[in-house]
Structure 1
Amino acid sequence: MVADRDGMDCLVVGLDAACRRVLAPLFEEGQVPTLESLFDRGTSGSLRSGIPPWTPSAWPSLYTGTNPGKHGLFDFLAFDGYEWDVVDATHLRERAVWEYLSAAGHRSVVVNVPVTHPPRSFDGALIPGYTAPEDPPCHPEGLLDDVRDAVGDYRVYPDAEGDGADTDYAAHREVVRMRGDALTYLADRFDPEFGFLQFQVVDTVFHRFPDEWEAVEAVYEAADEQLDRVLDRVDPDTVVVVSDHGMGEYDDYEFRVNEFLREAGYVETRRGGEGMPTWATVRDSKLRRGETGDVDRSALDAAMAGLARAGVTTQRVVRVLDALGLTGAVGRVVPSSVAESGAEQVDFPASTAFVRSRSELGVRINVEGREPEGTVPPEEYDRVRSELIDLLSGVETPDGDPVFEAVEPREAYFEGPAAEAAVDIVLVPHEFEQLLSARLADDAFGEPSEPWNHKREGVVAVAGEGVDTAASLSGAHIYDVAPTLLALFDLPRAERMDGGVLPVVEPAGVREYADVEPVDAPTREGAVQSRLEDLGYIEGR
């Protein structure tokens, strides 16, 4: 366990999407020497993510030690009937590890950890990360102004305008520097025993610059430089490196589940109007988001919606533009909201079952009495679900390979008071080689719109005093991280946690803790939704 000394007792370094597939070539070329040294002098292994293995569900699983059925976060979106919003910490039902530590008298500083906006009160300091607005409230109140006064500008997201690779690499590297500056400032000010520093852009670089390995190298090198500075300044006894999932190439197929379900008679569609279209994101569409100048957006929106009702959908327009070679030119002046006004959409109230969001990894059944306009009587639920499981289990790619390694009822993956918010049927792609999509198209299969995306195997490494470096981390699961961090402070894991203590440290028993206190919902910022659309995580509105 951690020693009693002047430096920080434990520092967690979060590398979003890090895995051996990504780290091995960086280690071989000596591009991240500080990170490599932690792996060399400690013990490391694969860290299996939960389902879904995406940022907004995986990081909360890591820092609470619970499955989404308990902590309540399944996706980038939270649903209320057929309506949705971007998730935040008001949806979080479980206590974070730094809150457990606070209750035991230990102070923490937390920088850039996803889904921590708005922050809850604890002994220490927190700057929220991914899904927060650009100028989020921090803990304590007014902290962000203090950080900016002390270290210069601080941003949650890269300030990248335009398409220039050099500019964008610099923007990503700059937010990495901000993370290191913020952590060291907060450590000096608050003198914490625990720190949690997360680097998100080591994931987003794959989405923003697919197939540009030099971008990955540039961002990881910046992260390694900051890690070296941070370790020198805070002198932690123990360092734990973790990721929420892995990253890899998707060079097989995109499977459009709603299109498949439409062809099978489960999904109904409509054209135009409000809702959550299953057309495409900015990244996987052929019309690109661009500045519209003095274009009358409202008039164009109305025109496209009218054309859609007449049967002229955006998909048809794109096919014509493709044939004429004009897609790029039109995309530079037509805003994505206009394109989406003409999109063919899933008609949620009229459908039997549908995919709400591709990163939920599953199908929701339109149950009468549960959904606002449900069509499936409760007594038919089991039959319809079994029928859909059988149908989807047998889906094969055009090459004859299985699309899914598992098609299961939600209770096979989720347990807890929030489980009913999950999909009814969980879809786990075979080795995460197939990219699932919620959009409608001419065919249920197509080329992947995301050439790089998430894999289930992340990574964990533990180095420092009191750590058994001979211990094997084989079989480590993301739920095990929070219990292990508590054990490093000689604290028992919470009885509600789904993971156990990794063998690098002795367990300290099990105990019940009080329920978490909820926080009020913050004012939403539309820019957060736009960023998620830009990165391909949600498929537009």
Structure 2
Amino acid sequence: MLKLFKRRTPRRVVVFGLDCAPPAVLFQKSSEQHPLGLKDRLPNLSKLIDEGIHGPLSSSIPCITVPAWSCMLSGKDPGTLGFYGFRNRADHSYDRMMIATASAVHEPRLWDILGAAGRTSLVVGVPQTYPVQPMNGCLISSFLTPSTERQYTHPNDLRYEIDRVLDGRPYDLDVAEFRTEDKDYLLRQIYEMTEKRFAVIRHLLREKPWDFFISVEIGLDRIHHGMWKFWDTQHPKHEPGNAYQEAIPSYYQYLDQQIGALLDTLDDNTVVLVVSDHGAKRMEGGFAINEWLRQEGLLVLKEEPRYEGLVPFEKVEVDWEKTTAWGSGGYYGRVFMNVAGREPLGAVPARDYEAVRNELKARIEAIQDDQGRPMGSVAFKPEEVYRRIRTPQ
């Protein structure tokens, strides 16, 4: 007897990226042990958690937006990709830095791999997608795009389709001045941006062919940066009973509703993932790595800063011939050694490189806070955490 087998319809994949989403907020219900847990207030995300597989995953080192999203989508670590943050050394000079745009990504990302196999992708808001590059499908770039006056979509005509979907309202790549003290203005921006993005996403999923879809919502990152102290009762600047206590939970609920509406349109042959690049927590203080290096005698200035308070590194004059190391980075500290024969005025002899580096690592990890308590700082040597290390030329 001849038995006919019907070929299975290829499965499709949907990825919801929530930039800056802490696992503890999504995975835990609110309790005395987990005061920031929101799982019991997010029915759609909770259903995915309860009926699927979930757990905390390690992010990239460093765990910030760039390079984390490109690491996730290429399967390569920052050393292999050759960038470690938004700004990276362009060469071995002291002042030339480059911005890690899409042009810095030389490894294929998931939609590139799928496109080579004939599959179609929809990509919305993923960092490091500007300048826009050709791909098999549709792409809308991210908050790292200068403005929508530039080409921010592929194909370029998609921008006019977006205009029609939004009835002429401008598409928002990001919110302006997310560190503003005008919190009502910030919240309006975040909600308007998110509402527009999901309207466009619904249109794309409904009208375009696709095998793989991914979006990254940057609004969560922006509301965390701007509103965390109002929510977290343990934050040093928290004021009980403030008017914005529910701002962050309410936005999570709004995102949950938007995601739920999209889930209702998907069939059972679709795999759904919810992912994040890094988490968030309250800021209890700051550490100026270059000031510490200066106090340790490892970074020497030609004269004392002429300004009071925090002084940008670019505003001081460094005596490079007497300087061992200097740092760069916003939410992490990349420390560069000033090596003779490599940097223009290198002070560390090449033969002493490893010994000096070991001492520097030990001193960083022994740093204490202003109360004399160990800070728990961890310093990584690149070869300890990366398979390959691409360095500036």
Q: TM-score range by the shorter chain?
A: 0.7 to 0.9
Alignment of 1:311-330 (within 5 A): 313-315=306-308
For residues 199-232 of structure 1, the C-alpha deviation after alignment (integer angstroms, 9 at most, x for no partner) is 1121221112231232212322222222122223
User: Is 1:353 aligned with 2:319?
Assistant: no
Q: Residue in 1 aligned with 2:248? A: 216
User: Is 1:131 aligned with 2:144?
Assistant: yes
Contact 1:119 1:128 in 2 (8 A): yes
Partner Cα separation in structure 2 for residue 340 and residue 259 of structure 1: 11
Q: Residue in 1 aligned with 2:98? A: 85
Q: Residue in 2 aligned with 1:171? A: 189
Partner Cα separation in structure 2 for residue 341 and residue 46 of structure 1: 36
Which of 253, 272, 275 does residue 239 from structure 1 map onto? 272
Structure 2 length-normalised TM: 0.81
- Alpha-carbon deviation of 1:40? 1.8
Partner Cα separation in structure 1 for residue 313 and residue 81 of structure 2: 35
| Aligned residue identity for 1:43 | I
Q: Residue in 2 aligned with 1:381? A: 353
- Alpha-carbon deviation of 1:167? 2.4
Alignment of 1:457-468 (within 5 A): none
Contact 1:86 1:131 in 2 (8 A): no
| Aligned residue identity for 2:187 | Y
User: Is 1:262 aligned with 2:294?
Assistant: yes
- Alpha-carbon deviation of 1:370? 2.6
- Change over 3 Å in CA distance of 1:340–1:377 after alignment to 2: closer
Which of 13, 18, 22 does residue 19 from structure 1 map onto? 22
SS in 1 for 2:122: strand
User: Is 1:68 aligned with 2:66?
Assistant: no
Q: Residue in 2 aligned with 1:39? A: 49
> Which runs of 5 or more structure 2 residues have no equivalent in the other structure?
1-6, 31-35, 232-245
Contact 2:120 2:136 in 1 (8 A): yes
Partner Cα separation in structure 1 for residue 63 and residue 229 of structure 2: 21
For residues 432-453 of structure 1, the C-alpha deviation after alignment (integer angstroms, 9 at most, x for no partner) is xxxxxxxxxxxxxxxxxxxxxx
SS in 2 for 1:254: coil
Partner Cα separation in structure 1 for residue 135 and residue 314 of structure 2: 47
- Change over 3 Å in CA distance of 1:372–1:177 after alignment to 2: farther
Partner Cα separation in structure 1 for residue 340 and residue 389 of structure 2: 21
Alignment of 1:267-306 (within 5 A): 267-269=299-301
- Change over 3 Å in CA distance of 1:99–1:215 after alignment to 2: same
Contact 1:70 1:93 in 2 (8 A): no
Partner Cα separation in structure 1 for residue 279 and residue 305 of structure 2: 40
Q: Residue in 1 aligned with 2:258? A: 226
- Change over 3 Å in CA distance of 1:258–1:412 after alignment to 2: same
For residues 261-319 of structure 1, the C-alpha deviation after alignment (integer angstroms, 9 at most, x for no partner) is 11121102256xxxxxxxxxxxxxxxxxxxxxxxxxxxxxxxxxxxxxxx672216x9x
- Alpha-carbon deviation of 1:96? 0.6
Q: Residue in 1 aligned with 2:243? A: none
Which of 47, 56, 60 does residue 66 from structure 2 map onto? 56
Partner Cα separation in structure 2 for residue 267 and residue 223 of structure 1: 46
User: Is 1:395 aligned with 2:388?
Assistant: no
Structure 1 length-normalised TM: 0.60
Partner Cα separation in structure 2 for residue 347 and residue 188 of structure 1: 60
Q: Residue in 2 aligned with 1:450? A: none
- Change over 3 Å in CA distance of 1:270–1:118 after alignment to 2: farther
User: Is 1:158 aligned with 2:171?
Assistant: no
- Alpha-carbon deviation of 1:97? 0.8
- Change over 3 Å in CA distance of 1:313–1:4 after alignment to 2: farther
Contact 1:257 1:355 in 2 (8 A): yes
- Change over 3 Å in CA distance of 1:160–1:225 after alignment to 2: farther
User: Is 1:9 aligned with 2:27?
Assistant: no
Q: Residue in 1 aligned with 2:380? A: 408
Structure with more of its chain in strand, by fraction: 1
Cα root mean square deviation, aligned: 2.9
- The number of residues matched between the two structures is 357
Contact 1:365 1:376 in 2 (8 A): yes
Q: Residue in 1 aligned with 2:240? A: none
Q: Residue in 1 aligned with 2:219? A: 201
